[in-house]
Amino acid sequence: MRLIDAEALIDDVKDRYCKDCNRRKGIKGGEYRIIYKIGEAPCKACGVGDMLDELEDAPTVDLPYFNYSRKNGKSMMEVKKYFEEVEDVQESD
């Protein structure tokens, strides 16, 4: 498993794909230039915009699960199941 810095990835994607996007350009004051901000109307119909929305809404990993997983060489699902079992035992006491 890899952890990524989602904010850095989003900024990188916006810089590479959105910065000079032709969909954001239009005629304003007789000149052809950027008239939409990133995330406005044309981005709603864009695959890159959809991917950024998915990334921003993606679930995050709970840090205790991750730390336990790294120390014990177990998958995140095994660790999550272990923690759920521990919580169930504690609640029944």
Share of the chain above pLDDT 70, in %: 71
- Give, in order, the Cα–Cα distances in Å from 56 to each of 6, 9, 69, 83: 8, 10, 24, 26
Domain locations along the chain:
1-59, 61-93
Please give the model's pTM, rounded to 2 decimal places: 0.54
- Mean predicted confidence (pLDDT) in 5-18: 86
In the three-class reduction of DSSP (H, G, I as helix; E, B as strand; rest coil), residue 59 is classed as coil
The answer to whether the beta carbons of residues 37 and 48 sit under 8 Å apart is no
Longest dimension (CA), the chain: 74
Q: What's the pLDDT score for residue 61?
A: 66
Angle at 46 between CA 18 and CA 61, to 5 degrees: 80
Q: Is the pLDDT score of 51 beyond 70?
A: yes
